[in-house]
A and B are shown apart, each in its own frame.
Chain A
Amino acid sequence: MYFSKVMSGCVDLRGPRAGAPPASYDPLPPIWTHPDPQSVTRAGPGPLNRASTRTAAAKKELMMWESLREALDEEMERDPTVCLMGEDVGHYGGSYKVSYGLHKKYGDMRLLDTPICENGFMGMGVGAAMTGLRPIVEGMNMGFLLLAFNQISNNCGMLHYTSGGQFKVPMVIRGPGGVGRQLGAEHSQRLESYFQSIPGVQLVAVSTAKNAKALLKAAIRSDNPIIFFEHVLLYNVKGEVEGPEYTQCLERAEIVREGTDVSIFCYSRMRYVVMQAVKQLEKEGYNPEVVDLISLKPFDMQTISRSVKKTRRAIIVEECMKTGGIGASLSAVIHESLFNDLDHEVVRLSSQDVPTAYAYELEAATIVQPEKVVAAVHRVVGAPAGVAYA
């Protein structure tokens, strides 16, 4: 049964040279372990003493929530117009601890706790952005930002254009999305599907502690409105982070693994699902190229087309639903622009068009699992070069 294979393992994301993680630490909690729903929805996934696990060595390793926090701290120190607004971001430090302790340093006015009204504080962010600030608006869960859709699409995305370029909206809208651990349908949404058509916004999805910090810094410095997707299950992912001057290009994809057989496009948590599948595929003699999209809008067509031209096969792995997801758009673009460079139609692995159920097994069945990725590669590539497929 495919659940048991993955239940036995804990994915070590730092590669073969890293040491063992601290005993109590699980870098990628798979969704099929038994979670404490309280800890994920309200207080954040981990205990608060993470600072002690930071090594004093030259290369710094942080968990993603810490690396996001560091990005926020550095940018707020560097630029006094940067501020954060949302529910429980001030005294409480944020539901996922991304602004933990910053309130003491920057005060009430720059870490603004708002009443509960997503459209209200989103509109507030738009107004503040047009009046010279660089606000970061935090949605406690990306799904709640459906309430803010009016402000995001009609105003945040459009006002720079409709004002004839007179007013700019340099905002970052960020928060955790995606499927967590048995959080139920309303807390498990993939808002990137709904936001992708809004003209005037950029969509970025982070996946590692390093790119999370570097991309958040770049997003804060950008004059465009950026919708910045974090994932509920990745806040404890640990990794090396760079220093205060390091930013990453918001429009560029990351090559996670170079290969020749097939291009696998993914983003956010699916990067880890794909890399889990890659372990199996490597054993079987396959050589997949894995590309983390990072920029969901606009797509990095330079990296994407270079990869497809090399491998001539493409698989898209996403958490979005089949209908109208990021994969649907990407599949269309790849077919249109790279038709003659493809030996196989683009295969899309997505969630089904169903609300995400609470029950453990149903939730696991709705998300793309590593085994599905392995099977898709078998289908698209056929037998790996030089190895008889059994």
Chain B
Amino acid sequence: MDFPGGKVPFTEDLAWLGPGFTPRPTIPCYRALDSQGAPLPGTSLPHDIDQALATRMYETMISLQAVDTIFYEAQRQGRFSFYMTSTGEESTAVASAAALNPDDVVFTQYREQGVLMWRGYTPLDMANQCYGNALDSGKGRQMPVHYGSKALNFHTISSPLATQLPQAVGAAYALKLEGKAAVAACYFGEGAASEGDFHAALNFSATLSAPVVFICRNNGWAISTPASEQYRGDGIAGRGPSYGVPSLRVDGGDAVAVYNAVAEARRVALERRGPVLLEAMSYRSGHHSTSDDSSRYRAAEEMAAWRARDPVARFERWMAVRGWWDEARGVGARKAARREAIAALAAAAKQPRPPLSEMFSDVYDEPPPHLVAQRAEVEAFVRAHPETLPAGMPLE
């Protein structure tokens, strides 16, 4: 007897499956490097990383770390209102981005600036966005770190959590309809995976067969909420098979493993024209944002232990084994990255703000009469009271 809800085997046992009864095995975590960065023997590595690729990944991660450090300090000095670092997750972002194609459409949450930097967004572009100046590709409309670049196939970040997941499904559906050999890659945190949109998106991607590579950054903390209070099941990877989505857990701090996992994920998603789910396990070494002080809820020992497993240091050791890295190169790279980040801030600070007239553009394709009237009202007021127009902001 087949039910419309599924062809199921029968049993005469009344037995529960799950925690406290017959447990399901915890999904193991794929890795290629140990916690110090020494390569592990017998690792399955379907995708090779040559020196050029490794060097580019390394330099991007170094640049990312410099930008994160310097821009965080800049916010503390009051130069812009807000910043979020991705400390501890550099490899998750950069190594995954390296495994994607430029045609793949990327949706992110807010801690994946490494993906954007891999694709070519410079520290200067980032500084312009954080300052919200006239050179920002977002025209000063979004808060800091909410980057977006159509040219780089990176969707503008929107603050509400997990809204990007169903959108990624829609984008993948569009790519499929248009016959493109590309995937939608969608990043989110383990906290965002509690939102309804996560469940909708996983379910939709499977039922509608959309080629999405879902990449969850499980960094253990959602502001002050530890993962142990975020879910009771087997993390995020544990949910995938229940939705009909093939899933893999990977060490997010292991750039070699992440690269291989994402490259495989992309291949599988395209081959099967369907979704896959990756859960990258890592640690949020920094605070949630500049509005947070995580020492209020986290032990100093825990934070120190994880800093010792810095993903960039692990990758350095892996490169060193191959003779592609030494101390001097590391020091030189970091100095150059620091200089670039500082110069970017200085240059961005000098740019004017977007003009006041830009407040009304792009709400629609063309401003309708009521916005034209509102704009005229604002401009008339400012002309009558020029002292109300902030310094550095032109009228138009």
Q: Please give the residue numbers on chain A whose beta carbons come within 8 Å of chain B beta carbons, in ascending order.
A: 81, 83, 109-110, 112, 114-115, 117, 119-133, 135, 150-151, 154-155, 158-168, 199-200, 202, 222-224, 251, 298-299, 301-302
Q: A123-B170, A298-B370 are known contacts. Are A117 and B204 too (CB-CB below 8 A)?
A: yes
Assess the B368–A298 pair: CB atoms within 8 A. yes
Residues of chain B within 8 A (CB-CB) of A135 are: 170
Closest to B368 in A: A298
Residues of chain A within 8 A (CB-CB) of B364 are: 160, 200, 202, 224
B162 to chain A, nearest CB (A): 9
Residue in contact with B167 in the complex, picked from A115, A123, A165, CB distance below 8 Å: A123
Q: A124-B167, A298-B370 are known contacts. Are A109 and B177 too (CB-CB below 8 A)?
A: yes
Residues of chain A within 8 A (CB-CB) of B149 are: 166
Residue in contact with A127 in the complex, picked from B150, B156, B166, B361, CB distance below 8 Å: B166
Separation of A83 and B173 alpha carbons in the complex (Å): 11
Residue in contact with A123 in the complex, picked from B163, B362, B370, CB distance below 8 Å: B163
Pull 29 A–B residue pairs with CB atoms less than 8 Å apart, ordered by A: A109-B177, A115-B203, A117-B196, A117-B204, A119-B166, A124-B167, A124-B169, A126-B166, A127-B168, A127-B172, A127-B173, A127-B184, A128-B173, A130-B170, A133-B177, A135-B170, A155-B167, A159-B156, A160-B362, A162-B141, A162-B146, A163-B141, A164-B141, A164-B148, A164-B362, A166-B156, A202-B368, A251-B368, A299-B370
Separation of A150 and B201 alpha carbons in the complex (Å): 15
A294 to chain B, nearest CB (A): 14
Separation of A373 and B41 alpha carbons in the complex (Å): 84
Most buried by A among B156, B165, B175, B203: B156
Assess the A133–B174 pair: CB atoms within 8 A. yes
Q: A128-B173, A130-B167, A166-B156 are known contacts. Are A115 and B207 too (CB-CB below 8 A)?
A: yes
Separation of A208 and B104 alpha carbons in the complex (Å): 44
A124 to chain B, nearest CB (A): 4
Assess the B171–A131 pair: CB atoms within 8 A. yes
Residues of chain A within 8 A (CB-CB) of B146 are: 162
Q: A117-B204, A200-B363, A224-B365 are known contacts. Are A110 and B177 too (CB-CB below 8 A)?
A: yes
- Given A132-B178, A166-B137, 9 extra CB contacts under 8 A: A117-B196, A123-B200, A131-B171, A155-B167, A158-B158, A160-B362, A162-B158, A164-B136, A301-B369
B132 to chain A, nearest CB (A): 10
Separation of A158 and B143 alpha carbons in the complex (Å): 13
Interface size class, chain B = 35 or more
Judge if B160 is at the interface, Cβ distance under 8 Å. Answer: yes
Residue in contact with A168 in the complex, picked from B107, B365, B368, CB distance below 8 Å: B365
Q: A131-B105, A160-B363, A164-B141 are known contacts. Are A112 and B173 too (CB-CB below 8 A)?
A: yes
Residues of chain B within 8 A (CB-CB) of A298 are: 368-371
Separation of A127 and B168 alpha carbons in the complex (Å): 6
Q: Please give the residue numbers on chain B whose beta carbons come within 8 Å of chain A beta carbons, in ascending order.
A: 105, 107, 136-142, 146, 148-150, 155-156, 158-160, 163-178, 184, 196-197, 199-201, 203-204, 207-208, 361-365, 368-371
Assess the A151–B370 pair: CB atoms within 8 A. no
Residues of chain B within 8 A (CB-CB) of A131 are: 105, 170-171, 174-175, 184
Residues of chain A within 8 A (CB-CB) of B156 are: 159, 162-164, 166-167
Separation of A375 and B113 alpha carbons in the complex (Å): 63
Q: A164-B148, A298-B370 are known contacts. Are A126 and B174 too (CB-CB below 8 A)?
A: no
Closest to A117 in B: B200
Separation of A112 and B200 alpha carbons in the complex (Å): 15
Residue in contact with B163 in the complex, picked from A130, A155, A166, CB distance below 8 Å: A155
Assess the A123–B174 pair: CB atoms within 8 A. no
Residues of chain B within 8 A (CB-CB) of A109 are: 173, 176-177
Residue in contact with B197 in the complex, picked from A120, A160, A251, A301, CB distance below 8 Å: A120
Residues of chain B within 8 A (CB-CB) of A167 are: 148, 150, 155-156
Separation of A81 and B363 alpha carbons in the complex (Å): 23
Separation of A376 and B155 alpha carbons in the complex (Å): 52
Assess the A162–B138 pair: CB atoms within 8 A. yes
Q: A130-B171, A298-B369 are known contacts. Are A112 and B163 too (CB-CB below 8 A)?
A: no
Residues of chain A within 8 A (CB-CB) of B167 are: 123-124, 126-127, 130, 151, 155
Separation of A123 and B137 alpha carbons in the complex (Å): 23
B275 to chain A, nearest CB (A): 13
Q: A123-B201, A166-B149 are known contacts. Are A128 and B363 too (CB-CB below 8 A)?
A: no
Residues of chain B within 8 A (CB-CB) of A129 are: 170
Q: A117-B200, A119-B197, A162-B141 are known contacts. Are A150 and B166 too (CB-CB below 8 A)?
A: no
